[in-house]
Amino acid sequence: SQQGEEDPQALSIQEGENATMNCSYKTSINNLQWYRQNSGRGLVHLILIRSNEREKHSGRLRVTLDTSKKSSSLLITASRAADTASYFCATDGRAAGNKLTFGGGTRVLVKP
């Protein structure tokens, strides 16, 4: 079953702008990961944040986690056309049987 819900479902921005997407989940988690998927292809791991962490950076990516609100955000700064993709959050934790469960995804279009 789907654990995370992502918001917005779709996002269209100009190159150079920042893109922010949010993920909310229902049950307690151990870790939250973000993945990118280019059109109809495999998923690529972007970043993992543990439940005891609040913020993590990787290049132009910034992820926050608020376990009290059961939510996470992914910020892509200075977006590029190549960032056009679908972005999924994925959670794991005992309540989900320790399985990786994906949210609905945000489709991001970066216009040149």
Residues forming the site for another protein (CB under 8 A) = 2, 30-31, 33, 35, 40-45, 48, 50, 88, 92-93, 97-105, 107
Q: Report, in Å, the least distance between residue 87 CB and another protein.
A: 11
Q: Report, in Å, the least distance between residue 82 CB and another protein.
A: 17
Nearest to 25 by CA among 56, 79, 66, 53: 66
Identify residue 110 by its one-letter amino acid code.
V
- Decide whether 45 or 111 has the Cβ nearer to another protein: 45
Residues 6+ apart with CB under 8 A from 82: 110
Total length of the chain: 112
- Decide whether 26 or 107 has the Cβ nearer to another protein: 107
Distance, in Å, from the CA atom of 94 to the CA atom of 92, rounded to the nearest integer, reads: 7
Nearest to 108 by CA among 88, 90, 84, 89: 84
Q: Report, in Å, the least distance between residue 103 CB and another protein.
A: 6
- Decide whether 15 or 26 has the Cβ nearer to another protein: 26
Q: Report, in Å, the least distance between residue 16 CB and another protein.
A: 27
